[in-house]
Structure 1
Amino acid sequence: MTSPDSMTVFDRALVRRRRDRAVAEFTDHSFLFEEIADRLADRLEDVIRPFPLALDVGCHDGAMGRILKGRKGIERLVACDLSPDFARAAGGTGNRAVAAAIAADEEFLPFAPGSFDLAVSNLSLHWVNDLPGALVQIRQALKPDGFFCASMLGGQTLAELRRCLYEAEMEVSGGVSPRVSPFAEIKDAGGLLQRAGFALPVVDSDVITVTYSDAFALMRELRGMGETNAVLARRKVPASRALLFDAARRYAELYAEPDGRIPVTFEVLYLAGWSPHESQQQPSKRGSGQIPLGDALKGGGLQ
């Protein structure tokens, strides 16, 4: 499904290959996925109802399923990921939290309408080209009054690295190309949920700061996560040593803390919404108020 105003920003085949490559050593670099999965599960605790059949969209190695095991009345969880290798890892024999795991593209979900009570997605949707279309498909896969909650990286993520690569490339090459993937802004996320047909949408965010010994350690971490640049408009040749060393130097000069370590910003957006159902709270119809606005303002002391 492709929405009329969607754009092809990411090379999805490259995203898949980089995830496949990351599987073997992912547990050495998965701290952010584990941490955010835990925070996402905590948000689910505020919803007082069971979800017998759940879907994990973009499951990576199954962290979300492991954390949700035995919680929220989940009896079966289906996990899917763009990467076949990650899907196999999530559905491995050691992960009994997952009833089934399949390779599936978030932009072309293979599930029948009204299948699931709950859909979750942990740090995957920021790689989707047609995010409105993907959200529509997730909403359609939910039963009426089904719940959706997700985390995705937001616009301030890797702001320091973005700046340093930009300035270094201007200095070394005399021009710039996309070196860090674009991320959604929080001001847009609520509108995306509404456009996708979710009821009672809620969006909030966290900013997590992590420190590394230097910029090269950060770049190795991003590669280990499978989160390196996959923008179609990127330069297809690897960055030169001169560019990388200049960017690392700038990062240290601009941002290093007293102990020499560099801070890295990850902004995480949390999205939540319900598949529409007649039992849900509805806004009052326009003009249905019983007290004239002028009287209400007078009563509040505003003349």
Structure 2
Amino acid sequence: MSVTPVLFDRLALAKHRNRARFNPAVFLHEEALADVQDRIALVNKSFTAPAIVAPFPEIWQPHWQTARIVPDDDILDLTENTHDLIVHAMALHWANDPVGQLIQCRRALKPDGLLLVVALGGQTLHELRAALGQAEIEVTGGLSPRIAPMGEIRDLGALLQRAGLALPVADSAVLKTSYATPLHLMHDLRAMGETNALSTRIRMSTRRSVIQRAMELYADAYADETGRIIATFELITLTGWAPDSSQPQPLRPGSAVQRLADVLNTAETPLKD
């Protein structure tokens, strides 16, 4: 019997998010929100029963007054065949079972309902990951988990098909930000509620010598011409639809009525056996 691995300490994650609400840094959510709004505006369809899966509902609720707000728990509080739009907002990268989250959303959609997912992708904080890893190896001789593994766009796109969603699309936007020092970046991550909540994290404070060395390595390798350090965030957007007979369907293999060579007005060259 397979057991879903528990990658994240959900209690620690909730504490981080609650702490962040006192002085939040929400620019990533604002970017995600703008992206979702643009995509919905391009859809030639009215949505009357939306739901939003969000860890920070105060950011999303004002823009969808009629939407049902759902916490991003492992088991989503969604009812089957209820919604024509579900937005999974900046939370999938903290899911212990990402494909399970998508399956739950697909089941909650009505036929031809739309699922939009925005989450952090694999390029996020690659600079900080490298600097911390090298510093810890140099100072302690070991390496501990500090930044959560985040999915690559190809892998996340494949999850849409595994979840049974039709017309799957995955794309990404890479955002480059700058900070005066790596310490300012870490303060911002704390204000985002995006600090380490891995189940396998070390539960004691990081050595000051590790932090100092990581700051030096970061500044040496990832500073711009002004001396400010660069930090990368990747927003991956996933789009999928609940299957419906009204959607475009692929033709069966061998059912074409016209040869491709005729369409291209070229000679067909048979392949050798």
Structure 2 length-normalised TM: 0.93
Task: Kindly provide the CA deviation profile for residues 41-96 of structure 1, in whole angstroms up to 9, marking residues without a partner as x.
Answer: 11111111111111110241432333345xxxxxx2111224xxxxxxxxxxxxxx
Q: Secondary structure at the match of 1:203?
A: strand
Contact 1:59 1:79 in 2 (8 A): no
In the alignment, is residue 243 of structure 1 matched against residue 210 of structure 2?
yes
* 1:118 Cα offset (Å): 0.4
Deviates more, 1:16-25 or 1:196-205: 16-25
The verdict on how the C-alpha distance between 1:44 and 1:213 changes in structure 2, with shifts beyond 3 A counting, is same
Runs of at least 5 residues in structure 2 that lack an aligned partner in the other structure: none
Counterpart Cα distance in 2 of 1:242 and 1:195: 45
In the alignment, is residue 79 of structure 1 matched against residue 69 of structure 2?
yes
Counterpart Cα distance in 2 of 1:38 and 1:228: 24
In the alignment, is residue 212 of structure 1 matched against residue 169 of structure 2?
no
Which residue does 1:32 correspond to in 2?
Answer: 28
Which residue does 1:93 correspond to in 2?
Answer: none
In the alignment, is residue 60 of structure 1 matched against residue 56 of structure 2?
yes
Q: Secondary structure at the match of 1:178?
A: coil
Contact 2:116 2:238 in 1 (8 A): yes
The verdict on how the C-alpha distance between 1:200 and 1:235 changes in structure 2, with shifts beyond 3 A counting, is same
The verdict on how the C-alpha distance between 1:298 and 1:165 changes in structure 2, with shifts beyond 3 A counting, is same
Which residue does 2:169 correspond to in 1?
Answer: 202
Instruction: Note the 1:1-150 alignment, pairs <5 A.
Output: 4=2, 6-26=4-24, 29-68=25-64, 76-82=66-72, 105=73, 107-150=74-117
Task: Count residues in correspondence.
Answer: 269
Which residue does 2:141 correspond to in 1?
Answer: 174
Aligned-pair identity in percent equals 40
Contact 2:170 2:237 in 1 (8 A): yes
Counterpart Cα distance in 1 of 2:259 and 2:29: 51
Counterpart Cα distance in 1 of 2:13 and 2:267: 58
Which residue does 1:185 correspond to in 2?
Answer: 152
Q: Secondary structure at the match of 1:62?
A: helix
Task: Kindly provide the CA deviation profile for residues 250-280 of structure 1, in whole angstroms up to 9, marking residues without a partner as x.
Answer: 1111111121111100011000010111111
Contact 1:10 1:127 in 2 (8 A): yes
Return the structure number with greater relative CO, CA threshold 8 A, min gap 6: 2
In the alignment, is residue 285 of structure 1 matched against residue 258 of structure 2?
no
Task: Kindly provide the CA deviation profile for residues 176-214 of structure 1, in whole angstroms up to 9, marking residues without a partner as x.
Answer: 011111100001122100110101011100000011111
CA RMSD in angstroms, aligned pairs only: 1.9
* 1:302 Cα offset (Å): 5.0
Structure 1 length-normalised TM: 0.84
Counterpart Cα distance in 1 of 2:241 and 2:263: 34
* 1:116 Cα offset (Å): 0.7
Which residue does 1:233 correspond to in 2?
Answer: 200
AA at the equivalent of 1:169: E
Which residue does 2:266 correspond to in 1?
Answer: 300
Q: Secondary structure at the match of 2:183?
A: helix
